[in-house]
Structure 1
Amino acid sequence: MEFEGLLLSLLFSGGTTLGGAWWSLKRWSQARHLLDTPTSKVRSAAQGYAEFYGVLAESAEAQLRAPLTGKACLWWRFKIEEYQSSGKKRSWRVVESASSEAWLRLNDGTGDCLIDPCGAEVRPAIREVWQGNLRHPMVSATRGVLGWLGSGKRYRYSEERLQVGQPLYAIGDFRSSGGGRQARDLEAAQSAVIREWKGEFSGLLQRFDSDRNGQLDEQEWSRVRLAAQLEAEDRHHQESAQPAQHHLGKPAESRPFILANAGEDELARHFYWQAAGAAALCLVGALATAWLLGVRVL
């Protein structure tokens, strides 16, 4: 085998080995996170990483319209592929794709949780795939007969949607505000107020520089700290008086952030199968690498 061909083959087999190992470990870890994290209720969930199971409810904003079908939904993702043919080589090339960023609302019977889907692995139950001869299938509906003439090209469309009333499994970083649920760290809140006031130092001097010398002495700084403490306490009381709001988003750590119409057992089983397939791919890549290097594997 020529050196260039051997090098390319080694790069391919080595990449297959590393990619398979990485994907296998990732899916195995995700499955364990799903099974090891207990299901919580929105009303009583602890702050931090949590999982919920409920129903998708209508949001305060108007429902979205999926861009390829025009159907009402709460979330959408689409992909448009163009068929390409060159000699014996035929393939589908992605020419356009996008997903919505509108927040979702999950209700589990004890309360509502707003979900920011950005960064989530979303696995909807509804997925439609079809083909046509227009880059945007909705064009035919607006152009009438002329829209059906097409462009002579072939396109494949896929659209996924989340809709009102569907069950939703969600796991991610859970945070609450209002309703008296915030931890009261008076010292940190006081420091935050002082930093905010320092941003407008001229206003700070106007309020607390009694001798008008353009500086704040120790006695004046004591008044600043006392006023900041009172301000921090007042802000805490105002926030606590607000109704509780719950949010779910992407965890800061490398933990799964998943939104799915399926339950955790089905998802974990699917992830285990993917982990096993990736492990087999890793083994094949390792054996191919060993064979290319002339190593006899017993």
Structure 2
Amino acid sequence: MLDMLDEAPAWAGAVVALIGLVLAAFGAWSWRLCQQLRGARLVPVAGPHAGQGPRAVALQGRSESPPEGDLAAPLTGRACHWFSFRVEALRKQAGQDQERWVEIERGTSLRPILLRDATGLASIDPAGATMTGTETESWTSDGPPPAAGMGEALATIASVAIQGRLETRRYTEEVIPAGAPLFVLGSLTPAPAGPSAVRAPESGYFAISTLSPEATARRHLLAAAGQGAGAAVLVGAGVFMTMRRRAAGP
């Protein structure tokens, strides 16, 4: 193992340490979000703040179907109020013998999510939100996903025609199912008529979760702990590699 470190390029230690510092920044972000979630005070959608301007709030309720109906998740066709998906293909890159997963498509719904509590209705713009507690499905298949349209079917046929075989693909889909419990930390603009608007605040964090406030905070606390531990290992390894390289000389 030490021989391998000695053979590494001179800049390798700095790169490893830099990756550790980036991971530490993510850990600090997760920690601050955890603390903000723990300190958040739940308010009703329609309360004393009605008539005021935008303000940072924490809301809790349940997602409600809009008049135009639920969304259909693009891979499974499941009824939902928000989705995100990613499609990867197992392919050989130019000049390489081994196959690697290559992302070929991704997408996220931008339609507002409706949250109803005992006092009223809020319309949440999900753009820029950190999502927690979404229901995730991931699978690998040589064929199109269950809800594939004509375009996906044609792509499958083209894969067979070009490669002489079906292309292996990995599908990942996240959803907020219809009627899910919701906890939201964001900026609320009350409306005298119709749903109040919730969006990303100008400063601070924007979070949407199907978990309770306590469970959401725990998720981010665990993420911060894992990211902090990983950062410490990487920074330490990078410093060790750099010092050993210097001691070994040119």
TM over 0.5: yes
Q: 1:97 is matched with which residue? A: 106
* Superposition misfits of 4+ residues, deviation over 6 angstroms: 140-144, 147-150
User: Cα deviation per residue 1:44-78 (whole Å; 9 max; x = unaligned)?
Assistant: 16441111111011112232221112222221111
User: Cα deviation per residue 1:151-209 (whole Å; 9 max; x = unaligned)?
Assistant: 3110111112222211011111111132xxxxxxxxxxxxxxxxxxxxxxxxxxxxxxx
Query: Which structure 2 residues correspond to residues 204-243 of structure 1 after superposition, within 5 A?
Result: 243=193
* 2:178 matches 1:164: yes
Q: 2:10 is matched with which residue? A: 6
Q: 1:40 is matched with which residue? A: 43
Taking the aligned partners of 1:163 and 1:284, their CA distance within structure 2 comes to 38
Q: 1:216 is matched with which residue? A: none
* 2:200 matches 1:250: yes
Higher helix proportion (structure 1 or 2): 1
Give, in angstroms, the shift of residue 245 of structure 1.
3.8
Taking the aligned partners of 1:174 and 1:143, their CA distance within structure 2 comes to 39
Give, in angstroms, the shift of residue 293 of structure 1.
3.1
3-state secondary structure, aligned to 1:271: helix
Taking the aligned partners of 2:104 and 2:144, their CA distance within structure 1 comes to 9
* 2:30 matches 1:16: no
- Aligned-CA RMSD value: 2.9
Give, in angstroms, the shift of residue 15 of structure 1.
1.5
User: Cα deviation per residue 1:65-99 (whole Å; 9 max; x = unaligned)?
Assistant: 21112222221111101113577744322110001
3-state secondary structure, aligned to 1:128: strand
Q: 1:177 is matched with which residue? A: 191
**Cα distance change on mapping 1:23 and 1:142 into 2, 3 Å:** closer
The structure with the largest alpha-carbon Rg is 1
Give, in angstroms, the shift of residue 124 of structure 1.
4.5
Q: Which amino acid aligns with 1:31?
A: C
* 2:215 matches 1:266: yes
Structure 2: which 5+ runs fail to align? Answer: 1-5, 161-165, 245-250
Q: TM-score, normalised by structure 1?
A: 0.68
Q: 2:237 is matched with which residue? A: 288
Taking the aligned partners of 1:17 and 1:139, their CA distance within structure 2 comes to 40
Query: Which structure 2 residues correspond to residues 114-193 of structure 1 after superposition, within 5 A?
Result: 114-134=123-143, 137-139=146-148, 151=160, 152-178=166-192
Q: 2:119 is matched with which residue? A: 110
Matched residues, percent identical?
A: 23
**Which protein has greater RCO, CA pairs closer than 8 Å, 6+ apart?**
2
8 Å Cα contact 2:63/2:180 also seen in 1 = yes
Structure 1: which 5+ runs fail to align? Answer: 179-242
**Cα distance change on mapping 1:139 and 1:285 into 2, 3 Å:** closer
8 Å Cα contact 1:124/1:160 also seen in 2 = no
3-state secondary structure, aligned to 1:162: strand
Number of residue equivalences = 227
**Cα distance change on mapping 1:57 and 1:111 into 2, 3 Å:** same
Q: Which amino acid aligns with 1:48?
A: R
Taking the aligned partners of 2:13 and 2:115, their CA distance within structure 1 comes to 48
**Cα distance change on mapping 1:248 and 1:45 into 2, 3 Å:** farther
**Cα distance change on mapping 1:131 and 1:150 into 2, 3 Å:** farther
Q: 2:57 is matched with which residue? A: 50
Taking the aligned partners of 1:31 and 1:259, their CA distance within structure 2 comes to 13
Taking the aligned partners of 2:133 and 2:215, their CA distance within structure 1 comes to 13
Query: Which structure 2 residues correspond to residues 71-90 of structure 1 after superposition, within 5 A?
Result: 71-84=78-91, 89-90=98-99
3-state secondary structure, aligned to 2:88: strand
Q: TM-score, normalised by structure 2?
A: 0.80
**Cα distance change on mapping 1:73 and 1:286 into 2, 3 Å:** closer
